[in-house]
A and B are shown apart, each in its own frame.
Chain A
Amino acid sequence: MLASQAAVRGLQRSLWRALSTARCVQAAHGKDVSADVLDCSQPQYCNRPDTPLPDIPFVRNLTADQMKLKEKEKGPWTKLTMEEKLALYRLSHELTYAEMRKGTNEWKTVVGVILYFMGFTGLVVWWQRVYVYGDVPQTFSEDWVEKQTKRMLDMRTNPIQGISTHWDYDKKQWK
């Protein structure tokens, strides 16, 4: 029983590891999975909030239209239309700050899986309580606990800040 439980758990774990690192799952959560081989001896482009101006622009190889736009950029910027300004931004940067800070939905999957395993643990605990554990000792019965508490109060246990300070000895009731 325990061996098959362990086998199931092992399968779930390896399944999760295979899933969470799978490109399709990462892409579904919005992670950028286009990272191919990087040559780190060359200047890199990066999307980082603390680096407003990366080492190189995002688009290196400009088309003819884009080169014309770059020429227009050398003139006064007041003559650029909004679309042209946005196009120039997208030439030098891949993502806007808003897009960089957006975040993914991965946390929902993580929380869901955590809750699932907590539920499974609860199931195991309940099963143990019902099918494995025996009875608690007789000292846990209500009658015994009552007599025990009375004895503790009679003995004045913890009379400074503990249980005996919560009992009114004159009125014979809890304060």
Chain B
Amino acid sequence: MATPLQLGFQDAASPGMEELVHFHDHALMVVYLISSFVLYIIVTLVMTKLTNKHAHDSQEIEIIWTILPAIILIVVALPSLRILYLMDEINNPHLTVKAFGHQWYWSYEYTDYDDLAFDSYMTPTQDLIPGQFRLLEVDHRMVIPTESPIRVLITAEDVLHSWAVPALGIKMDAVPGRLNQTTFMTSRPGIYYGQCSEICGANHSFMPIAVEAVPLTHFEDWSTSMQQTV
């Protein structure tokens, strides 16, 4: 989850997010270089005492400032496309979870082995235990095993929603009448929070997502106990 006054990404909890973080570092460096160069040019342009009222054209600089941006774009595009195709690779998920967006809560179904389905409502602020996170805690988290590829099928029951977990590098729209698929793998155990990312009405800001990644045995115990309670 994010900490106060945080500006950058949350630490990656999946290999996909790691790739995105590194690409962002690379692209941001390119952006900083271009911006500082342009700023330098503007400052020298404004502050100079030199005047030239007869500058018409220059073939050399035109060639340079056409070729160089093309090279820069290629330098940015190649890693970007690499990650794009990486995201679409076949990875044989161990588990499929279905996430349904409702107004204004998520519901999850684990139907690979048994029938497990439950709703996930936000814990209201006045019901929080001291130390819990406002607007992020839910009554039933989506529990998954660590270090296993997970497939999530996302759809909505009423209006558009979006299932997003920044630490895992996932955001996928929940469209009514459509199944969107995304896969991820958590590298380490923990609870990863996200919030609905498509405006869906009055309580759009109050339907968070909490993904709890636990070792496989714990996941199996949870699955058994959830089935008995729900």
Which positions in A face B, CB cutoff 8 Å?
49-50, 137-139, 143-144, 147-148, 150-152, 155-163
Contacts and interface: CB of A to CB of B under 8 A. Distances in A.
Contacts of A50: 51, 53
Sorting the interface of chain B by its residue count into under 10, 10 to 19, 20 to 34 or 35 or more gives 10 to 19
Contacts of B199: none
B131 interface: yes
Contacts of A144: 130-131
A59 B32 CA distance: 54
B191 interface: yes
Contacts of B12: 160
B134 interface: yes
B220 interface: no
B3 A158 contact: yes
Contacts, number: 47
Contacts of B53: 50
A163 B3 contact: yes
17 contacts: A137-B125, A138-B126, A139-B134, A144-B130, A148-B131, A150-B131, A151-B133, A152-B1, A156-B188, A156-B190, A157-B1, A158-B1, A158-B3, A159-B11, A159-B188, A161-B11, A163-B3
B128 interface: yes
A160 B134 CA distance: 24
Given A49-B51, A50-B51, A147 B190 contact: no
Interface in B13-67: 51, 53
A138 B125 contact: yes
A147 B1 CA distance: 16
